[in-house]
Each structure stands twice: as structure tokens, then as C-alpha cells.
Amino acid sequence: MKFGLIPKLLLGLGIGILIGLYGPDWMIRFTETGNVLLGNLIKFFIPLIIFAFVAASITEFSSKAGRLLSFTIGISYLDTVIACMLAAVAAYIIVPNFALQANQAVEAATIGAPFVEIGIPPIMGIISALVLAIIVGMASSWGEAKVLSAAVIEFRNIIEKVIQGFIVPAIPVFIACIFAGLAAKGELFGTMSVFGKMLVLILILQVIWLLIEYLVAGAVSKQNPFTMFKAMLPAYFTAMGTMSSAVTMPVSLKQARTVPYINKKIADFVMPLCANVHLSGAAMTLTISAITVSLLTQGSLPPVGLIISFILILGVIEVGAVGVPGGSALAAIGILQSTLGFGEAEIGLMLALFMIQDSFGTATNIAGDGAIAMIVNRFFGKEEAKVETVEEN
């Protein structure tokens, strides 16, 4: 019997809690060793992930440069940023009301140190990786830089394989080690209670944001938004099962082409593009999780200015995030470290929460692509129709 990612995550979480509550000291020290080792490995790959995805995205987008591309990416970025702002406002208002009990364990118990600590420093900083990605991505799209362009895209494909073959399979083990430490220190039960409430908040906000997206798209396009929303439901449930925007993209494309008022060429362009650049559901989850985890671990809400910086950079990072389960969370770890100062424990909590709800976040991303297509079609659908008519003649 083959386990999916969520059952593995829940199994890892359960095993970690049991080890933390009932395991001997040597076992706790072993999980702490795994915590440090896997945490350092993940941190090593983060700049490479950011560089690979952002550079490759710029390379591919620049080869299709034009008003249609710029408009679609711009709308996707704006949509993601506004969704995160809404999530942040809700988190600042609501999260403190149910996160207070997480401070029950004021004095955490002392546990054994790891058996060994191996430092694996990243080859560059997060902002350096982002700036280098922009420079290399733009350079690879200029002139006849075919070798550089191919190298950037091939490097992105290699990093995708690393994520699928090593990082994502290692995350359940990492989470088991994190929760073993939390349970051993006596910090577990307040955290789990907050997690449950936060999951409910995230799901409610994702549904609200989908309704806002389609109502705005309907007002802008002057078309019935529920026609598109109904068409995107099969894609929504496919994304919920696969947890991958890339895998779900053929379904979303097929469904968008069935909507009478959407130009087929617009659907063919927007749906595959938005599967990679429009990640509002995932970004909302990351924003709420970051604020909550900051409150849980640091005892206070992060400054508003830091969260605004985090959201603006997160929107850029998510444009290049890979379409595999957990890809957007992994790509965001770098700015969680550099902007909010998160360490291994905070990142472990973020990954645990994000992965458990990833199916709903991915479904929100994909369903929202339909609203983006409606807005793009309003401004470019007639132009594409004219081009198509001329080609036929």
C-alpha cells in the first residue's frame, strides 16, 4: 500500500510525539541530531531553489515578452499580494485570541543535546540568490544566449528532481524530529491546539478569497463569474487530490476552454502560466502561518513593517515557485529566515502546517486561475479573436 504525502506527514508527526513523550534520552538526542542535520540540509538548498526557479521563470517569460504576458503576471502578483494582506489583517486580529494558551509552558524542559552537529552553510544568502537569479535570468534572455538559457532551465529541472526525490520525502522525518523535541520540552499541547484553530482560519479565508476573486473578475469582465467558477470545480478537486498545480494544469486548461465567453487562445496562454505564477492560496497560508508561529515561538506578533516586506518579497518568490507539493513553502523558507529570523524549530512548524493543508492551498491557487483568466480575457480576448479571424482568412 502506497502512502500519500499527508498520511506520511501525520505518521511522522505521531511518531515524533510518541518519541518525545515516552522515548529515552538517547532517542531524544537522536531526533535532535536529525533535526539539526535535516534543517541544515534544507537551509543549504534554499538559495539554490530560489535561484533556480526565479532565474528559469524570467528566462522563459522573457522569451514570450509582450503586453499579454506582463499583464497576466502583474495581475497574478497583485492578486497574491492583496490576498496576503487580507490574511495578515485577519491573523493580527484573530490569532492572538486563540494563541494565548500556547504560552502555557513558560519554562521549557531541558533535553539532551544532539550527538553531533554538522554545519552545512549555504553557498549564498537569500537576497543574494534572488538578485543573482534576476540578473542571470535577464542576461540569459538577451541576444543569442542560448547556452546560458538552456543551462538555467536545466539547473531548474535538476533542483526539481532534488525536491521531489530528497527534500519532500525527508520532510515527514524532519517534522517527526521537530515534534519529538516539542513534546520532550513540554511545549506540544498548546501548539497543537493553536494549529487546529489556525487550519480552520486558513480554510475559511481561502474560501472567502475565492469568492472575492470571482466577484471582482465578474465586475471587471461584465460576465457571469459563477459560469467560470462552476467550470473550475473539477480542477479544484483534482488539485486537492494531487497537491500540484503543474499536475492539475491540463484539467484547468480543459475546463477553462469550455467557458463560452473565454477566448480559447487566452485560456491556452493564461491557465498554464498561472499554474506557475498565481499562488494566492499558498501565499495566504504562509502569511498566516508565519504570524502565528512567530507568536508561538517568540511570544509576540511580528512588526507590521516586517510582514509587509515579507509579503512583497513572498509575491516575487511565489511567481517562480515549483509546481510540486510543498514547493512554494520550500521557496519561502529563505525569506522566513532572512526577514522574520526563523530557525529550525519555526521552519519545522511552518512546514508541518503548510504540508497538512497543502491540498486546500493548491486547490485555491488553481480555482483562482479562472478569475485571472476572466480579467485577462476582458482586455485581450477581442485582440486574440481578431488575430484568429485574420489567420483563418
Q: What is d(CA 180, CA 343) in angstroms, rounded to the nearest whole number?
A: 16
Residue 187 has pLDDT above 90, yes or no: no
Give the mean model confidence (pLDDT) for residues 326-334: 73
What's the pLDDT score for residue 387? Answer: 44
Q: What is d(CA 63, CA 149) in angstroms, rounded to the nearest whole number?
A: 10
Return all residues near 191 (Cβ < 8 A) that are at least 6 apart. Answer: 102, 182, 296, 349
Give the mean model confidence (pLDDT) for residues 203-223: 93
**The three three-digit cell numbers of residue 101, written as one number:** 494558551
What's the pLDDT score for residue 106? Answer: 40
Give the ranges where the chain is alpha helix by DSSP (H). 5-22, 25-62, 67-99, 126-140, 146-162, 168-185, 188-221, 225-242, 245-256, 264-277, 280-298, 304-319, 327-340, 344-392
Q: Are 83 and 216 in contact (CB under 8 A)?
A: no
Residue 53 has pLDDT above 80, yes or no: no
Residue 382 has pLDDT above 50, yes or no: yes
Q: What percent of the chain has pLDDT over 90?
A: 14
Confidence label for 313 from pLDDT (cuts 50, 70 and 90) = confident
How many Cα atoms occupy the beta-carbon half-sphere of 115 within 13 Å? 9
Q: Are 9 and 356 in contact (CB under 8 A)?
A: yes
Classified as helix, coil or strand, 115 is: coil
Classified as helix, coil or strand, 102 is: helix
What's the pLDDT score for residue 299? Answer: 75
Query: 10 Å Cβ neighbour count for 321?
Result: 27
**The three three-digit cell numbers of residue 102, written as one number:** 500556547
Q: What is d(CA 138, CA 59) in angstroms, rounded to the nearest whole number?
A: 6
Q: Are 179 and 17 in contact (CB under 8 A)?
A: yes
Which domain covers residue 62, as residue numbers? 5-392
- Tell me the pLDDT tens digit for each residue of 65-75: 467 778 888 89
What's the pLDDT score for residue 384? Answer: 53
Confidence label for 90 from pLDDT (cuts 50, 70 and 90) = very high
Residue 326 has pLDDT above 70, yes or no: no
Residue 103 has pLDDT above 50, yes or no: no
Q: What is d(CA 334, CA 352) in angstroms, rounded to the nearest whole number?
A: 16
Grid coordinates 485577519 are at which residue? Answer: 90
What's the pLDDT score for residue 342? Answer: 81
**The three three-digit cell numbers of residue 154, written as one number:** 536545466
- Tell me the pLDDT tens digit for each residue of 214-250: 999 999 999 999 999 999 998 888 887 666 676 687 7
Measured at the alpha carbon of residue 150, what is the angle toward residues 62 and 56, in degrees to the nearest 5?
45
CATH of the domain at 27: 1.10.3860
Return all residues near 225 (Cβ < 8 A) that are at least 6 apart. Answer: 214, 215, 217, 218, 371, 374
Confidence label for 391 from pLDDT (cuts 50, 70 and 90) = very low
Phi–psi pair at 192, nearest 5 degrees: -65, -40
Average pLDDT, the chain: 79
Burial of 366 (0-12, 13-18, 19+ CB in 10 A): buried
Question: What Rg value do the Cα atoms of the chain yield, rounded?
Answer: 22
Decide which of 8 and 235 is more confident. 235
What's the pLDDT score for residue 217? Answer: 94
- Tell me the pLDDT tens digit for each residue of 163-185: 778 877 887 888 788 778 777 77
Confidence label for 104 from pLDDT (cuts 50, 70 and 90) = very low
**The three three-digit cell numbers of residue 116, written as one number:** 553531533
What's the pLDDT score for residue 64? Answer: 53
Q: Are 126 and 48 in contact (CB under 8 A)?
A: no
User: Would the CA dihedral through 323, 74, 361, 226 be positive or negative?
Assistant: negative
Q: How many domains does the chain have?
A: 1
Give the mean model confidence (pLDDT) for residues 382-390: 51
Q: Are 282 and 366 in contact (CB under 8 A)?
A: no
Confidence label for 370 from pLDDT (cuts 50, 70 and 90) = very high
Give the mean model confidence (pLDDT) for residues 69-96: 89
Q: What is d(CA 49, CA 44) in angstroms, rounded to the nearest whole number?
A: 9
Q: What is d(CA 371, CA 217) in angstroms, rounded to the nearest whole number?
A: 5
Decide which of 24 and 117 is more confident. 24
- Tell me the pLDDT tens digit for each residue of 132-161: 887 887 777 665 677 888 888 888 888 878
